[in-house]
Amino acid sequence: MKRILIAILLLVAIAALGGHYYYERQVEQRVDSAARLLGQMGGNLDYREVVIGLSGDIRVEDILLRVPGMPSAVSIDRASLHTGGLMGVHRLAMDAREQLLPTRLGVSFDGIRIPLSSVTESGNLGVTDSFAAAGCGDRTAFSALDIVKMGYSEFVMDTRVDYRLVGDGELLNLTVDTLMREMNNTRVEMDFSLGAPSRHAPAVAMAMANAQLLSVVIDYQDKGYAQRVSAFCTEQTGLDREAFLAQHLSAWQDVWHQFGLTAGPTLVDGYREFLSNPDQFRVQIKPSGSLHADDLSGMSTELMLYYLPMQLSVNQGPMKRLDLSAMDEAEAQAWREARRERTVDSDSEAEQSGDTGQAQDDEGRITMEALRNAKDATVELRLANGRTLEGVVHSVGEDRLQLQRFQNGGYVIQPVDYADIVEAYLLGD
């Protein structure tokens, strides 16, 4: 009897190992196919090995990725597919054959290393960067050199995405966890009502188009980035920490205005508390009424804020209503006029100090008055929202200019308000 049991266990082990080897080869073939496709596009994908662990994680180790258009390669320590166990690998393969989505699945990338040489000199790290750089001299974003001066040599990121289907397609829970090492950790969890009739992929895809958002929770944990920004900006501005934080808070509110929004007292006080002790905050969003994905398309900012009321907790404090509101047209116009006057005053001061409107500094930066006289010149415009535009000044008006840009294989004319321009640079022919 004992011999029979041992024999059965050996057969099971051999079968498991055989299946294990089979699935590893299957994954390798798919990764190799992706590498060949990327190579045809002028890129490159190298990796050390594919491993399926006892936990059911399918791992691709030591990836080196070169994407056309990027100045340097990106390395990834590990890319993993989390199936929940060895049987999960088999279930995943079976579900794929039947075009069924697994009830739960996770994918993660550990040790994504992005050299700072891959970051544009404009330093556009996203919308959040405009807020972080507020009041730090005349910056609208942090450059790669700024990030180096803060003590970073590269961006190192870990990210994981998990989803879970509840009730065979009725509900969807989605979680995105992103760690920027020595910077911050952000976790976003969303719940949707799908109403899908099954896990069949086409059925779920159709249901997603009309998915109802139930809740969003955003958790942010600072990992040293806020302190480094504060230290860097106090040095750059020559202010002490208290004075800089006051200047930053004022400029931070101005950035909201640039997006047509006003931060209310609760939000301002919450951010002030976070600045004094950069630890963590949580934002909760509970839609009022039934809100579907298609409803957000074309919705005004005011309506979006109404249907998506938010609550804020700072450093594990009580939840409070996040009083972010849309500016009406009169408020927006008054703010633009005040900003335009500040720009004119700044140009006047520059002229009085000996800098004529036509002069440019060593970096090619020109005044707003010079920009208004720069018809047919090639310029680079750095906007208040962190974007950078490059093109030829097609025409100039009282409140805005028309910029001719090359886009999608052709030329487009884009209007740009002077009030939205923070810096302008004259480029060579």
pLDDT for residue 87: 80
Tell me how far apart the terminal alpha carbons of the chain are, to the nearest angstrom.
89
Residue 416 CA to residue 410 CA, distance in Å, equals 19
What's the average model confidence in pLDDT over 31-47?
86
Band of residue 15 on the pLDDT scale cut at 50, 70, 90: very low
pLDDT given for residue 11 in this prediction: 35
In whole angstroms, how far apart are CA 356 and each of 351, 370, 398?
5, 8, 20
Q: Using one digit for the tens of pLDDT, what is the confidence trace for 316-344?
A: 999 999 999 988 877 777 777 776 666 55
**Of the candidates 48, 78, 44, 217, the residue with the CA atom closest to the CA atom of residue 157:** 78
**More confident call, 353 vs 151:** 151
Rg (CA), the chain: 27
In this model, does residue 16 exceed pLDDT 80? no
Percent of the chain at pLDDT exceeding 70:
84
Residue 21 pLDDT level (bands cut at 50, 70, 90): low
Instruction: Assess contact for 207 and 219: CB atoms under 8 A.
Output: no
The predicted pLDDT at position 78 comes to 94
In this model, does residue 8 exceed pLDDT 70?
no
- Residue 424's φ and ψ, nearest 5 degrees, are -130, 140
pLDDT at 278 over 70: yes
Instruction: With beta carbons less than 8 A apart as the criterion, state whether 266 and 314 touch.
Output: no
Q: Is 252 exposed, middle or buried (0-12, 13-18, 19+ CB in 10 A)?
A: buried
**Which residues pair with residue 218 across a beta bridge?**
188, 283
d(CA 123, CA 86): 44
What span, in angstroms and rounded, lies between the C-alpha atoms of 113 and 369? 42
Confidence of residue 220 (pLDDT cuts 50, 70, 90): very high
Cite the DSSP H helix spans in 65-186. 86-97, 127-132, 144-149
Residue 356: band (very low, low, confident or very high) from pLDDT cuts 50, 70, 90: very low
Distance (Å) of CA 33 to CA 28, 44, 46, 61, 70: 9, 12, 12, 17, 21
The vertex-390 CA angle with 385 and 395, nearest 5°, equals: 100
Which comes out higher in pLDDT, residue 44 or 124?
Answer: 44
pLDDT digits (tens, 9 = 90+) for 236-256: 999 999 999 999 999 999 889
Q: Please tell me the distance from the alpha carbon of residue 258 to that of residue 71, in angstroms, as a whole number.
A: 32
pLDDT at 145: 83
> Rounded to an integer, what distance in angstroms lies between the CA atom of residue 291 and that of residue 287?
7
Q: State the amino acid at position 220 in one-letter form.
A: Y
Taking 90 as the threshold, does the pLDDT of residue 33 lie above it? no
Task: Give start and end residues of each alpha helix (H) in 41-143.
Answer: 86-97, 127-132
44: pLDDT strictly greater than 50:
yes
Examine the pLDDT at 227 and tell me if it is beyond 80.
yes
141-181 confidence digits (pLDDT tens): 888 888 889 999 889 999 999 999 988 888 999 999 999 99
**pLDDT over threshold 90, residue 267:** yes
Q: What is the mean pLDDT of residues 41-48?
A: 89
Q: Is 116 within 8 Å of 148 (Cβ atoms)?
A: yes
Query: What pLDDT score was predicted for residue 5?
Result: 38
Q: What angle do CA 166, 167, 171 make, to 5 degrees?
A: 50
Lowest mean pLDDT among 13-27, 177-191, 218-232: 13-27
Question: What pLDDT score does 343 carry?
Answer: 57
> Which tens digits make up the pLDDT trace of 73-130?
889 999 999 988 778 887 888 888 888 888 999 999 999 998 886 665 445 555 567 8
Looking at 23-32, 48-57, 242-251, which range is the least confident one?
23-32
Domains observed in the chain:
99-326 (no CATH), 330-426 (2.30.30.100)
- Strands (E) across 301-399 are located at 310-314, 320-321, 324-326, 365-366, 378-383, 388-396
Mean pLDDT of all residues belonging to the chain: 82
